[in-house]
Structure 1
Amino acid sequence: MLAVIHVLFRDDLVSLGLVSGFTDGLDDVGTAVSSLTPVWAAERTGIVASDIERIAHDFSRAEAGICYGRMGVSTQAYGALCQWAIQVINVVTGNLDKPGGSLFTLPAMDQVTNTSPGGFARFSSRGRGLPEFNYELPAAAMVEEIRTPGEGQIRLMFTGAGNPVLSTPNGAALDEALEELEFMVSLDPALNETTRHAHVILPPTSPLEHDHYDIGFHNLAVRNTARYNPPVFERPKGALHDWEIFAELGDRLANLLGLEPMPRQPPHELVDRALRSGPYGGASDWQISIEKLVAHPSGIDFGPLQPSCPDRLQTVDKRIRLSIPEVLRDIDRLIEDAPAEGYRLIGRRHVRDNNSWMHNHQRLMKGKPRCQLMMHPDDVANEGWKSGMMVTVSSRVGHLQAELSASDEVMPGVVSLPHGYGHGRSGTRGEIANRHPGVSCNDITDEQFVDQLSGNAAVNGVLVSLSVSAA
């Protein structure tokens, strides 16, 4: 992506379009990428230089286009830099805030105008000093925060609907560290690889036993939409929704501290209030409300996304700042970072089992086994191996064995294991998942391997070695 930006500047293809009047730092970006040629990128990525140039030219000349990237480009050693480069490409080609390009939503329940713009590095982890983002520390710091004595040491943990033992780097170390906690509570319907360590498990109602309004989805949708789902089934007698569990815990804590408990309000009432006061509420022709959404079970489409900048920007001065010193310094780190010899491990997510909880459903797990080590056929041949062999994959933190599968879906020099496996551990209650245990790729990802700019865990691109036992 940096080489694409280089070509856009080199060949005078930069055209900001609608955002030109409120964008700063363009010249600094051009200077920062001046040496990052397609030839340089080709040596690093294996993508032919002429293809990089063609992509840059085609993208800049297209009537509309969008550069987009999510999980895969984020959870690696230069994740923050990648996300910056994605937005720069959209900006310098005039595709930000343009129909057909990258646009912001205007959701019925608007979380942009109702929340703060966030923050970064206002405090850091006690061990390595990893920065917070939006008041959250990187998961890569979890084990050391449990095990490092002193003020701020994690001695009590509350988990909610997650399985970090299988989804965070060096999950094997976290598996051990959770046993060292003085107290652990899990709000979760499952007794899984993480919640098995809890002293108390508080099971909420199932997804089909409570109502739902997807705040996150509507904020990220490709059209402005709203949809509300009432519960499909009545909840069992005595069962509590997750919000009721949190409310009850809050009431009890308030009583212990001698404080007045917070008033309880069901989520659907809060959502209804937000809908009525939002852009499609009482002040609009839509007159949106929970009641109206119930009458439209398939949801309501408010139309395509529209240009909304600079008003929609959450920067103090309503301007786009491309020249971010921390990011530009990270480009220097990338240039100086010599590629290491060896294979690089990446994860993958299958449609039918992209998270660990999906492994406990027979309809999703039937068919051929999917927890295999994918490796490019040329690498398989060079090693003298073949599909079906058991290969040992080793990293700094541990090793595991997986069945080899030759596949041209990965690049040479890259191997891939799927996310979310590693079942069959004692104390869990997942009959189907335990029949398909597989191995957890995060038992060999490295909590010390992080994106140095953001502090985020780099679970993709982990340096590993491969071996097979002698026959």
Structure 2
Amino acid sequence: MSPIRGTMPHVGLLSASPVPSDYTGTRLAACNLCEAICGLELTIERGAVTAVRGNDADPLSRGHVCPKGVSIADVYTDPDRLRRPVRRVGEEWVEMGWDEALDLVADRLAATITEHGRHAVGVYLGNPSAHSLGSSTHGTAFVRSLRTRNRFSASSVDQVPHQLVSWLLYGHQLLVPVPDLDRTSYFLVVGANPMASNGSLMTVPDFPQRLRDLKARGGRMVVLDPRRTETAKVATEHHFVRPGSDAAVLLAMVHVLLAEGLTRPASYVDDIALLEAAVADFTPERAEATSGVPAEVVRRIARDLAAADGAAAYGRVGVSTHGFGSVCQWAIQCLNILTGNLDREGGVLFPEPAVDIVGRRIIGPGHFDAWRSRVRDSPEFGGELPVSVLREEIETPGEGQVRAMVTMAGNPVLSTPDGRSLSRALEGLDFMVSVDFYVNETTRHADVILPPTSALERDQYDLVFHNFAVRNTARYTPPVFAKDADQRHDWQIFAGLATRLGHRLGARLPLRARLTARARLAASPATVLTGLLATGRRVSMRRLRAHPEGVDLGPLRPTLPGRLQTADHRLHLAPALLVGDLDRLRAALAATAVPDGELLLIGRRHQRDNNSWMHNTPRLTRGRPRHHLLMHPDDLAERGIADGARVTVTSRVGAVEVEASASEDLMPGVVSLPHGYGHQVAGTRLRHASGVAGVSINDLTDPALLDLSGNAALTGVPVSVAPA
């Protein structure tokens, strides 16, 4: 039975049909603003959304909704949102028709490829690309049609260490174990804040209720973080850890498990002796000296993990975004594997989504160092170069120089290291096109902006995030509102560009590539999804259309060793690439003395922020300012700085001015700025609380500092703070 409960004229309206302009009633939708993918119920009066609440019938989100989800209709109605293509003429933006715009973009990209080669075009994919069905089905085909090696994405400021470690251990970059949060009894959280994020690479809507349930059954949550985050405040226990030292703490826990004989790995796990030798000198005492976490705490946590009846160790952005993110993620996997909690109910398990993007290799397994960047010689991972090298690839002359740029739903000027320098580099491009519906710090450099429809105007199925969910579910959501005749969905934009490029480049493209692209682009995302579901045989498109609230496919369950994608279907605990990085870690730990007056900068996120956008949504920017630099009161007093005063924060690559706020939630010696702030675009309503745009933390982060994987080192940046 349809969950649509129209109360006035359109009671019988099918859920697959966009609502008429005069519709009054309710309609189900899906939030695509973060990884929690919550189900929504919209109240609509005469075609306008008047209220948004969580959908109680959704089997994954169970009625949960956060402030961002409540604000989803604000994006639909936002006067700043572009609805038709625009071309930059001097300092003005001029609307143009779709055919004219797509032809212009195809002409300029084809000319660049013809004159300078295919690597002269660079591509950047922003985070929202993974949250759109059309971008997943058609955006990737468009990018492949360019055949450039200069591909970049938000992944290398976020999650590549997870992907590299999963590729090395399990055989696929997205075969990421997920905490079985609904059944675990011990949850170790390192550098993550799921109370604000509702999980990341762990789709867990309504984390607060799931945590209450964990505690109600006698479970514990232990948090290691340099800030007393929203998650740390509700934990069973919290311990401060010096930014960037997490690897020493996690390896010391692995050391304890091996030294005390607390391991019970599965029969398909190899190389335990190699691992034991590699971590022999990473003792709890060494960890204490560099991290501040007492040695007895390190030992106790390791023992508690081993003794718990179902335990899960989980680390996220705080341990992925420093110079040893891959070692951290490796150590976290080792903790789960050695304690026997991998592939165990209550431990960490691999979801089984209705569309198995991993098992069917819809997304490739990954590769490392297949090619390198032209200037810095940085290795690629999974077909992408580190975004930290993008600026130099644009500015450095020579064969392969990036001369034209395509950005897709991203704002790297705010979200990648040394954004000011990247902004200057973008100004020097021969041509730039952005598929985005906002003018922001990045897209303002584009020659053409091609705006797609918003979430409420298109259908949605989360191909990516069901792969990380704490419960197996599936949900297809039709569009709530019909798009205008002069709007285009993202998949239509990508199909139009790829088709036009194919015509212009002709024989320059291999025949197989042309035929593959043509087949992929001919079908709509819904048609592609229908075929994937039919061959997956877990749930049909017909059933999903009949149940837009979602279909429950059951709890996570053990699936190993069958799902391993390694060459020999075994799990090798000591990959040479990671073991080889330990010497670099040892050298870094030996040089941990902090110069007088130096502080370590970390980021933070808020539940009411969505990375670098939605800061022009009034309901999300109300209340106390969130853009301030947080400092421990002792650090303020030591520098003669008053609470609330403006300060100058300086790093190796730049300086910013911002208000400072005293907070005992910070570990002494650590300061914190939020990610995604710093909007300065004239002519829009981009703003923050009290009309303050804040500053970009990434004007301080250093593009020279990278993890082994190529991920940017955004955490633990050395800075000085002085009165402005």
TM-score by length of 1: 0.94
Q: Distance in 1 between matches of 2:380 and 2:685?
A: 34
Name the stretch that deviates more: 107-116 or 88-97. Answer: 107-116
Is residue 215 from structure 1 mapped to residue 439 from structure 2 by the alignment? Answer: no
For 1:379, which of 635, 643, 664 is the aligned residue?
635
Deviation digits for residues 327-354 of structure 1, max 9, x if unmatched? 1122221111111422111111111013
CA contact (8 A) 1:354 1:419 kept: no
Q: Distance in 1 between matches of 2:525 and 2:487?
A: 17
For 1:41, which of 262, 279, 287 is the aligned residue?
287
After superposition, residues 55-70 of structure 1 pair within 5 angstroms as: 55-70=301-316
SS in 1 for 2:603: strand
CA contact (8 A) 1:164 1:194 kept: yes
Deviation digits for residues 98-124 of structure 1, max 9, x if unmatched? 111110011001101222321111111
Is residue 173 from structure 1 mapped to residue 431 from structure 2 by the alignment? Answer: no
Q: CA deviation at 1:306?
A: 1.0
Q: Distance in 1 between matches of 2:593 and 2:524?
A: 54
For 1:54, which of 273, 276, 300 is the aligned residue?
300
What's 1:461 paired with? 716
CA contact (8 A) 2:404 2:430 kept: yes
SS in 2 for 1:352: coil
Q: CA deviation at 1:39?
A: 1.2
After superposition, residues 220-235 of structure 1 pair within 5 angstroms as: 220-235=468-483
Is residue 278 from structure 1 mapped to residue 526 from structure 2 by the alignment? Answer: no
CA contact (8 A) 2:641 2:722 kept: no
CA contact (8 A) 2:639 2:722 kept: no
Q: CA deviation at 1:323?
A: 1.1
In structure 2, the CA distance between the partners of 1:398 and 1:431, relative to structure 1 (3 Å rule), is closer
For 2:684, which of 414, 418, 429 is the aligned residue?
429
What's 1:388 paired with? 644
What's 2:257 paired with? 8
For 2:328, which of 82, 96, 103 is the aligned residue?
82
CA contact (8 A) 1:356 1:421 kept: yes
SS in 1 for 2:659: strand
For 1:400, which of 656, 671, 690 is the aligned residue?
656
Name the stretch that deviates more: 76-85 or 352-361. Answer: 352-361
Amino acid at match of 1:462: V
SS in 2 for 1:418: coil
Q: Distance in 2 between matches of 1:254 and 1:245?
A: 14
Amino acid at match of 1:170: D
Amino acid at match of 1:151: E
Name the stretch that deviates more: 64-73 or 181-190. Answer: 64-73
SS in 2 for 1:464: strand
SS in 2 for 1:302: strand
Q: CA deviation at 1:318?
A: 1.0
CA contact (8 A) 2:435 2:452 kept: yes
Q: Distance in 2 between matches of 1:176 and 1:461?
A: 26
Q: Distance in 2 between matches of 1:275 and 1:345?
A: 45
CA contact (8 A) 1:213 1:227 kept: yes
Name the stretch that deviates more: 397-406 or 383-392. Answer: 383-392
CA contact (8 A) 1:166 1:421 kept: yes
Name the stretch that deviates more: 263-272 or 178-187. Answer: 263-272
Q: Distance in 1 between matches of 2:542 and 2:413?
A: 41
Q: CA deviation at 1:356?
A: 1.5
SS in 1 for 2:331: helix
Q: Distance in 2 between matches of 1:249 and 1:433?
A: 35
Deviation digits for residues 41-70 of structure 1, max 9, x if unmatched? 111111111111110111100010111112
For 1:310, which of 558, 561, 568 is the aligned residue?
561
Amino acid at match of 1:139: V
CA contact (8 A) 2:688 2:694 kept: no
Q: Distance in 1 between matches of 2:633 and 2:341?
A: 38
SS in 1 for 2:681: coil
Q: Distance in 2 between matches of 1:190 and 1:430?
A: 11
Is residue 236 from structure 1 mapped to residue 236 from structure 2 by the alignment? Answer: no
Is residue 72 from structure 1 mapped to residue 318 from structure 2 by the alignment? Answer: yes
Q: CA deviation at 1:151?
A: 1.4
Amino acid at match of 2:463: I
What's 1:265 paired with? 523
What's 2:548 paired with? 297
What's 1:283 paired with? none
Is residue 332 from structure 1 mapped to residue 590 from structure 2 by the alignment? Answer: no
What's 1:448 paired with? 704
For 2:599, which of 343, 360, 375 is the aligned residue?
343
SS in 2 for 1:400: strand
SS in 1 for 2:613: helix
The ranges of structure 1 where at least 4 consecutive aligned residues each deviate by more than 6 angstroms after the TM superposition are none
Q: Distance in 1 between matches of 2:376 and 2:537?
A: 44
Q: Distance in 2 between matches of 1:291 and 1:180?
A: 50
Q: Distance in 2 between matches of 1:36 and 1:126?
A: 36
TM-score by length of 2: 0.62
Is residue 146 from structure 1 mapped to residue 397 from structure 2 by the alignment? Answer: no
Q: Distance in 2 between matches of 1:247 and 1:215?
A: 19
SS in 2 for 1:301: strand
SS in 2 for 1:358: coil
Q: CA deviation at 1:305?
A: 0.8
Q: Distance in 1 between matches of 2:327 and 2:443?
A: 34
Q: CA deviation at 1:129?
A: 1.2
Q: Distance in 2 between matches of 1:258 and 1:119?
A: 29
After superposition, residues 241-256 of structure 1 pair within 5 angstroms as: 241-256=489-504
Q: Distance in 1 between matches of 2:638 and 2:259?
A: 39
Q: CA deviation at 1:279?
A: 4.5
CA contact (8 A) 2:679 2:686 kept: no
CA contact (8 A) 1:423 1:436 kept: no
Q: CA deviation at 1:425?
A: 3.3
Q: Distance in 1 between matches of 2:631 and 2:325?
A: 23
Q: CA deviation at 1:381?
A: 3.0
CA contact (8 A) 1:117 1:315 kept: no
Q: CA deviation at 1:433?
A: 5.2
Q: Percent identity?
A: 51
What's 1:323 paired with? 574
Amino acid at match of 2:656: L
Q: Distance in 2 between matches of 1:120 and 1:34?
A: 28
Q: CA deviation at 1:431?
A: 4.1
Name the stretch that deviates more: 170-179 or 259-268. Answer: 259-268
